[in-house]
Amino acid sequence: MSKTYTISELAEEFGVTTRTLRHYEDEGLVTPAREGLQRLYSHRDRVRLKLALRGKRLGFSLSELRELFQLYDLANDERRQLEEFAVKLERRRAQLEQQREDVEIMLNEINFFSNQCQRLLAESDTGKNPVSG
User: 38 lies in a domain?
Assistant: yes
Say which DSSP state 78 is in: S
The widest CA-to-CA distance across the chain, in whole angstroms, is 84
CA gap 130, 46 in Å, rounded: 65
CB-based burial, 104-122: b 16+ in 10 Å, e otherwise: eeeeeeeeeeeeeeeeeee
Q: What pTM value is reported for the model?
A: 0.65
- DSSP code for 32: -
SS3 of residue 6 by DSSP: strand
Per-residue pLDDT tens, the chain, 133 aa: give them.
689 999 999 999 999 999 999 999 999 999 999 999 899 999 989 999 998 999 898 888 998 888 888 877 766 667 777 787 888 889 889 999 999 999 999 999 999 999 999 999 999 888 765 555 5
Is 84 domain-assigned? Answer: yes
CATH number at residue 51: 1.10.1660.10
Domain count of the fold of the chain: 2
Residue 89 lies in a domain: yes
**How far apart are alpha carbons 69 and 65 in whole angstroms?**
6
d(CA 27, CA 46): 15
Domain that holds residue 83: 75-127
pLDDT of residue 1: 63
Per-residue pLDDT at 131: 58
